[in-house]
Amino acid sequence: MYPGVRFIPRGVGVRALTPEGYDPAWDGILPAADYLARQNVDAIMVIGTSLTFYRGPEAHARLLEDLRKRTGLPSSTMSQAILDGLREVGSRHVAVATAYSDVVNRRLKELLAAAGIDVLSLECFDLLEFGGPAKKSEDDIIALSSSALAKANARPNAKMPAEGLLISCGGLRTLGVAQPLEARHGVPVVSSATAALWAAMRLVGESGHLAGYGRLFEQAKAPVN
pLDDT recorded at residue 156: 75
Instruction: Give the separation between CA 214 and CA 205, rounded to whole angstroms.
Output: 21
Helix (H, G, I), strand (E, B) or coil at 160: coil
Q: What are 124's strand-pairing partners?
A: 98
Which helix (H) or strand (E) is 46 found in, with range? Answer: strand 44-46
Q: Which pLDDT score is estimated for 117?
A: 97
The answer on pLDDT for 224 being more than 70 is: no
Q: pLDDT tens digit string along 103-114? A: 999 999 999 999
In the structure, what pLDDT confidence band is assigned to residue 160 with cuts at 50, 70 and 90? confident
Percent of the chain, pLDDT > 90? 92
pLDDT at 158 over 80: no
- Which domains are assigned to the chain? 80-195 (3.40.50.12500)
pLDDT tens by residue, 46-101: 999 999 999 999 999 999 999 999 999 999 999 999 999 999 999 999 999 999 99
* CA-atom Rg of the chain in angstroms: 17
Whole-prediction pTM value?
0.94
Residue 180 has a pLDDT of 97
- Which ranges constitute the DSSP H helices of the chain? 19-38, 49-53, 57-71, 78-88, 102-114, 138-153, 178-185, 192-203, 215-218
